[in-house]
Structure 1
Amino acid sequence: MAITLFTSFALLLTFAVPIGIALGLSVMIALLVDGAMPLEFLMKELTTSVNSFPLLAIPFFILAGEIMGRGGISRRLINVAESLVGSVVGGTALTAIVTCMFFAAISGSGPATVAAVGGIMIPAMVSKGFDRKFATAVVASAGSIGVIIPPSIPMVMYGVTGSVSIGDMFIAGILPGILVGIGLMVYSYYFSKKNGYLGNGKKISVINILKEIWNAKWSLLIPVIILGGIYGGVFTPTEAAAVAVFIGFIIGVFFYRELKLKELADIFIESALMTATILIIVGTATAFGKLLAMEQIPNKIAESFLSISSNPTVVILLIILLLLIVGCFMDTIAAIIILTPILLPVAKLVGFDPIHFGIIMIVALAIGFITPPVGVNLFVGAGISGLSLEALSKAIIPFIVAMVIVLLIIMFIPALSLILL
């Protein structure tokens, strides 16, 4: 059955079948060919897999991101970021990255971060003389931080799949997310200095910084309430997602007055479509993973890793390589659901903390957001800038290298993930 499962899945991906549909069809084909199990198995998994309270966080965080993106929050975060780094060489690029880090703390989604920030920052960078390919690559890569700095939808999925505390995952993602942002900023600064991309010509002013922080106080308050509520035990991560929707709506409508009630219908439709896409992937990926478990594939893969080496560093490096390859071809949610039951036991066996390994896994798969052919951030960025996927894929390579270097640092220094716990 395993051969049929993988072969049919690979063929369906080759013909550009959407990942969720490809997973479901490959399960159906394997069930029909094997004949040992009824097709009802797939139907059962599609319903039971999404019948989970923690998964309610996904539609709420998606809806919160859509509301905040249209409620004037993005623009105010950009102003704060520019007051901090806008005067430095390549200041507009650095502003884009810092803004993505801010927005990551309220959205939980990579593509949503690219859409919210890129719509403003890519044209701004181009108007100031930045190369369009570089400008788009900056935002697309920085958008990946959206799933590393909490809240994070992939972290919710890892917590559910691996029976790991979602709250602990959120705390553990703070420093690694900041480190990824710093890594991208270092390369952007180098590229900007090499190509003569200057800052905005203004001196850094404490008064101006405080002014912009005050203007964006409600935007900056959102992650404080969400994360503070989770860590303070006031509400669970799932409840925090609902709170984020409420706060974003109140701020956008009554404080900033930029979110119009007539826009809510479009916001609900966009959020529902994105939620439906993710939940289809969750259901079909769960069924796919169950079949793999029945065929003892996780145990065989674990044995194959350990047969190569029993050295923990070598084993985790092999896992990272696998995740980077998988990220090129598979959606992050699907990869987490399928691979966590396979790889987490191996990581535990060689002495890696489940939280630390979860951060390694999230960061590695976050790189998949900017690696073709399935890099979602690339598609969003290309749609904003009008670039071809091929041109953007070439421009993004140095940013991928920077993120891989940071990933290795996170792997070798567990304290980056665990010190705040």
Structure 2
Amino acid sequence: MSLVLLLVFAAALLLGAPIAVALGLASAVAIVGFDLPVHVLAQRGINALDSTPLLAVPLFILAASLLNAMGVTTHIFDLVRLVVGRIRGAVAQVSILVSLIFSGVSGAALADIGALGKIQIDQMSAQGYRRDFAAGITIAAATIGPIFPPSIPLIIYASVTNVSAVQLLVAGIVPALLITLFLMVQVAVMARIYNLPRDTVSPSLSAVARKAVISLPALVAPVILIGGLLSGYFGPTEVAGVTVAYALAIGFLVYRTLTFRAVWESLRETVEATAGILFIVSTAAVFAWVLTLDQVPAMAGQVLLGLSDNPLVLLLLVNLLLLVVGMFLESIAAILIIAPIVAPALHQAGVDPLQLGIVFVLNLMIGLLTPPIGMSLYMVSIVAKMPVHSVIRGVLPFFLPLALSLLVVSAVPAVSTWLPRLLSQ
């Protein structure tokens, strides 16, 4: 049964079917072909969406869309430029830091690229950077978003594997800061080797103070979000709702750049994006049920545990698997299909569930940078109006800091587990 399921799924993908359609079609063929109850298609699909943590997904998408619509990303970018100053490679460093700040409200790599990509690439191009380099650092920095809370992939991973969503989001803070550090070191090295331009801004205390006052309401948004999670006062869904309410408040009352038309457009974009994500969640749940019925997770667990009982070795094997999967499969679909198969075996072997969640998602975010399916490559290609092969050439040097980050997170459990364990004491 599983063989038929996988063959139909692969055939549908090769024929160009959307990932959700391929998952649903393969599941339907397997269920009908092996005389299983057809009502399972609807039952399992609907039950998969009956999840409180998943309510955070549309709310975080809406919050990011509202903040982008009111133009706060430009204020944040200008403020960080003034703070960083005129060091060599400054605008590239600014792009990394702005991605970290904006990730505190977006929760998704593609959302970061959509909101910041054009600004980042245009600013670097104006300073004399090669456009392929600008595109490369923009894509690499966008991987921070799905690791730093709020993270839509981490929320979905938590809902699939029954891990605490709050603890998993908190577990992403230190790894996201580590990725930021490694990317900044890489840019600093490349700045010396390739003599990257200095910024043309003239920072002064008064200019920084003025721009900080303008940017402060937007900067408070991630502070509220992270503070709510760390204090335990908010769960992911509550903090997402608070972020949306805060974005509406500053958009109408402080910046006064948010219009009812812009809110309507943000709502429309949110519905479209959420429908795509939840369609995948629903069909993948049926797909995973068929695999479970055929005992594939149990067999996969036996195979993994038969290869080694060393948690680090198992993590490295899963890393290799996910890096390959990330080249061909959309990240949310990969989480929904593969996590229920490999997570139980690795938990049994002693891998911490929080560490595994971060490793899992980081692998798949690196997959967004890799052809042939890497969606970040195509998103930047559209935003920057560049051919995909130029974007790929620009991102190649930044695989090194991302790979180092993945290696550290895999080898040192405390990178992921220290902060949530500290806060839970």
Q: How far apart, in 2, do the equivalents of 1:402 and 1:265 lie? A: 39
Range moving further from structure 2, 371-380 or 150-159 = 371-380
Q: How far apart, in 2, do the equivalents of 1:316 and 1:205 lie? A: 48
Q: How far apart, in 1, do the equivalents of 2:320 and 2:205 lie? A: 44
Shift of 1:410: 1.1
Q: How far apart, in 1, do the equivalents of 2:290 and 2:406 lie? A: 31
- What does residue 333 of structure 1 align with? 332
Q: How far apart, in 2, do the equivalents of 1:201 and 1:3 lie? A: 59
Asked if residue 343 in structure 1 is aligned to residue 336 in structure 2, the reply is: no
Secondary structure of the 2:144 match is helix
Shift of 1:57: 0.5
Give percent identity, aligned residues only.
33
- What does residue 411 of structure 2 align with? 412
Alignment of 1:60-71 (within 5 A): 60-71=59-70
Q: How far apart, in 2, do the equivalents of 1:86 and 1:288 lie? A: 52
Confirm or deny: 8 A CA contact 2:107 2:150 kept in the other structure: yes
Q: How far apart, in 2, do the equivalents of 1:325 and 1:206 lie? A: 49
Amino acid at match of 1:379: Y
**Structure 1 unaligned runs (5+)?**
none
Amino acid at match of 1:392: V
TM-score using structure 1 length: 0.95
- What does residue 423 of structure 2 align with? none
Amino acid at match of 1:29: V
Amino acid at match of 1:10: A
Deviations 1:355-375 (Å, cap 9, x if unpaired)? Answer: 111111111111122122222
Deviations 1:42-95 (Å, cap 9, x if unpaired)? Answer: 122221211222111011111111001111221122123212334222111111
Shift of 1:253: 2.1
Shift of 1:207: 5.8
Secondary structure of the 1:213 match is helix
Amino acid at match of 2:326: G
Shift of 1:193: 2.7
Alignment of 1:349-368 (within 5 A): 349-368=348-367
- What does residue 5 of structure 2 align with? 5
Asked if residue 299 in structure 1 is aligned to residue 306 in structure 2, the reply is: no
Change (3 A) 1:210 1:170: farther
Q: How far apart, in 1, do the equivalents of 2:222 and 2:391 lie? A: 31
Amino acid at match of 1:365: L
Amino acid at match of 2:30: A
- What does residue 145 of structure 1 align with? 144
Matched residues, number: 420
Confirm or deny: 8 A CA contact 2:127 2:199 kept in the other structure: no
Q: How far apart, in 2, do the equivalents of 1:39 and 1:137 lie? A: 46
Change (3 A) 1:205 1:319: farther
- What does residue 382 of structure 1 align with? 381
- What does residue 28 of structure 1 align with? 28
Q: How far apart, in 1, do the equivalents of 2:390 and 2:11 lie? A: 26
Secondary structure of the 1:16 match is coil
Q: How far apart, in 2, do the equivalents of 1:72 and 1:254 lie? A: 14
Confirm or deny: 8 A CA contact 1:310 1:350 kept in the other structure: yes
Deviations 1:8-27 (Å, cap 9, x if unpaired)? Answer: 11122222221111111111
Q: How far apart, in 1, do the equivalents of 2:191 and 2:95 lie? A: 13
Q: How far apart, in 1, do the equivalents of 2:158 and 2:170 lie? A: 13
Amino acid at match of 2:10: A
Q: How far apart, in 1, do the equivalents of 2:73 and 2:227 lie? A: 21
Alignment of 1:200-239 (within 5 A): 200-201=199-200, 208-239=207-238
**Structure 2 unaligned runs (5+)?**
421-425
Q: How far apart, in 1, do the equivalents of 2:242 and 2:212 lie? A: 22
Alignment of 1:162-311 (within 5 A): 162-201=161-200, 208-311=207-310
Secondary structure of the 2:143 match is helix
Change (3 A) 1:390 1:11: farther
Q: How far apart, in 2, do the equivalents of 1:345 and 1:292 lie? A: 14
Confirm or deny: 8 A CA contact 1:110 1:147 kept in the other structure: yes
Asked if residue 16 in structure 1 is aligned to residue 16 in structure 2, the reply is: yes
Change (3 A) 1:206 1:365: farther
- What does residue 122 of structure 1 align with? 121
Secondary structure of the 1:146 match is coil
Secondary structure of the 2:145 match is helix
Secondary structure of the 2:292 match is helix
Q: How far apart, in 2, do the equivalents of 1:237 and 1:213 lie? A: 28
Q: How far apart, in 1, do the equivalents of 2:291 and 2:198 lie? A: 53
Shift of 1:191: 2.6
Q: How far apart, in 1, do the equivalents of 2:138 and 2:21 lie? A: 29
Q: How far apart, in 1, do the equivalents of 2:171 and 2:310 lie? A: 25
Secondary structure of the 2:386 match is coil
TM-score using structure 2 length: 0.94
